């Protein structure tokens, strides 16, 4: 809009009634506001230029109309303006001498936009670092959408207690306080399963193979069959629809509620 007004000002017949069509309703509504937000300095400059032109020609000789135009409706002028705007965004701008003085210097940075851009960049970098980490690569084998907001929403399910959400997260992260894990930290004397005596009580053994939990595991198997899925770690820990049933299974085994030294979280 500022560039359009600048073009009008450079024309010899700039005292004729002029119309600027814009497909951005927010830009038009800005002139009916108090214009205190970041980025409104451009709107202030637009009004200043319009007032200078009006003062030069008189109120009767200069008339400017701003009108909203629907975008993406095959309006040639609008489509051409969009193409030129994209060229400018790719650093294909006009020479500085042809631009208004206001646009010859860098525009002030919008703090909110700068924060959004920084947070987006930081989030992308964190996601790449997480996916390339050993823990992230292991999580990918269970759920290839990790890290995802869907998982956070799942463990925030009101049907899950805080303890259940914590246990499911520990199992997904492979930090569950089972004997195989606790043995690495010398918190237990043996990695054997206290329920059946198997040599290694790891996550797969606890969720899939321990014979002492076969009855508790039956509900998980039935649900998997209904959904035509195999009862595997990828299903139990990767398919978030199993979260509530998995919580019930964990509670029914009482595996993490034993009073002995075993299964005490480090």
Whether residue 53 is contained in a domain is answered as yes
Same domain, 164 and 231: yes
Same domain, 216 and 153: yes
User: What string of DSSP letters covers 206-246?
Assistant: IIII-GGGHHHHHHHHHHHHHTT---SHHHHHH-GGGHHHH
Whether residue 61 is contained in a domain is answered as yes
DSSP-derived letter for residue 104 is: S
For 94-141, how does the pLDDT look when each residue is reduced to its tens digit (9 = 90+)?
Answer: 788 888 888 888 777 778 888 999 999 999 999 899 888 888 888 888
Same domain, 80 and 20: yes
Using the 3D structure, point to which of 108, 140, 156 is the last residue of a domain: 108
CA angle 18, 20, 25 (to 5 degrees): 150
Whether residue 70 is contained in a domain is answered as yes
Name the pLDDT band for 260 (thresholds 50, 70, 90): very low
Q: Judging by DSSP bridges, how do beta strands 64-68 and 18-22 pair with one another?
A: parallel
Cis previous bond, 147, omega within 30: yes
- The domain of 101 spans 2-108
> What is the total count of domains within the chain?
2
Whole-structure pTM over 0.95, yes or no?
no
Whether residue 17 is contained in a domain is answered as yes
What distance in Å separates the CA atoms of residue 142 and residue 152, rounded to the nearest whole number?
Answer: 15
Same domain, 95 and 195: no
Contact call for residues 155 and 147 (beta carbons, < 8 A): no
């Amino acid at each position: 809009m500022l560039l359009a007004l600048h073009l009008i000002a450079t024309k010899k017949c700039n005292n004729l009634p002029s119309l600027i069509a814009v497909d951005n309703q927010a830009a038009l509504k800005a002139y009916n506001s108090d214009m205190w937000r970041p980025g409104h300095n451009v709107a202030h400059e637009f009004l200043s230029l319009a007032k200078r032109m009006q003062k030069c020609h008189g109120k009767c000789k200069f008339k400017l109309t701003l009108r909203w135009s629907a975008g993406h409706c095959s309006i040639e002028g609008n489509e051409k303006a969009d193409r030129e705007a994209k060229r400018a965004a790719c650093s294909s701008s006009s020479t500085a001498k042809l631009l208004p003085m206001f646009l010859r210097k860098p525009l002030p940075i919008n703090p909110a936009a700068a924060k959004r851009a920084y947070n987006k960049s930081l989030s992308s970098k964190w996601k790449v670092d997480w996916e390339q980490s050993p823990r992230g690569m292991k999580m990918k084998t269970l759920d290839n959408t990790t890290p995802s907001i869907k998982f956070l929403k799942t463990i925030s399910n009101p049907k899950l207690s805080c303890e259940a959400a914590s246990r499911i997260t520990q199992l997904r992260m492979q930090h569950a306080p089972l004997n195989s894990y606790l043995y690495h930290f010398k918190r237990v004397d043996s990695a054997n399963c206290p329920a059946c005596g198997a040599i290694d009580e790891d996550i797969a053994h606890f969720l899939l193979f321990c014979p002492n939990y076969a009855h508790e595991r039956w509900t998980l198997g039935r649900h998997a069959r209904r959904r035509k899925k195999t009862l595997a770690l990828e299903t139990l820990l990767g398919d978030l629809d199993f979260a509530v049933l998995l919580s019930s299974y964990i509670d029914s085994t009482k595996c993490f509620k034993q009073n002995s030294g075993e299964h005490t979280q480090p």
